[in-house]
Amino acid sequence: MNHLTKTLIFGLLSTVMFGAQASEHQHGEMMNPAPAAQQTPAISATGEVKSIDMESKKVTIAHDAIPAVNWPPMTMRFTFTPQTPAQRH
């Protein structure tokens, strides 16, 4: 066999073998992914906005006790940014 024939046969077999290997990646198993990590339950509370200081970008909130996290009623001050969503509930 001459060199050109060997090269063509090698190229043909390589193409067939790589195609077969690619089809054996078991893509069907991707339909059943591993279960996602368990989510932490949301904790809600009731509070009241006591003040908003636009100059220092601070908001003061007083909230009731939050038994789920062992927090007593307290007043807390938070910094807000222009990206902070403002929602009224």
Q: How confident is the model at residue 62 (pLDDT cuts 50, 70, 90)?
A: very high
Q: Say if domain 47-79 classifies as CATH 2.40.50.320.
A: yes
Residue ranges of the domains in the chain?
47-79
Asked if residue 3 has pLDDT above 60, the reply is no
Identify each DSSP E strand in 1-89 by its residue range: 47-53, 58-63, 74-79
Residue type, 54: M
Give dist(CA 76, CA 60) in Å, integer.
6
Chain centroid to CA 83: 19
Beginning with the edge strand found earlier in the chain, give each strand of the sheet holding 58-63 in spatial order: 47-53, 58-63, 74-79
Q: Which residue has the tokens 């007593």?
A: 72
Mean pLDDT of all residues in the chain?
73
Give dist(CA 2, CA 65) in Å, integer.
87
Mean pLDDT of all residues in 24-40: 62
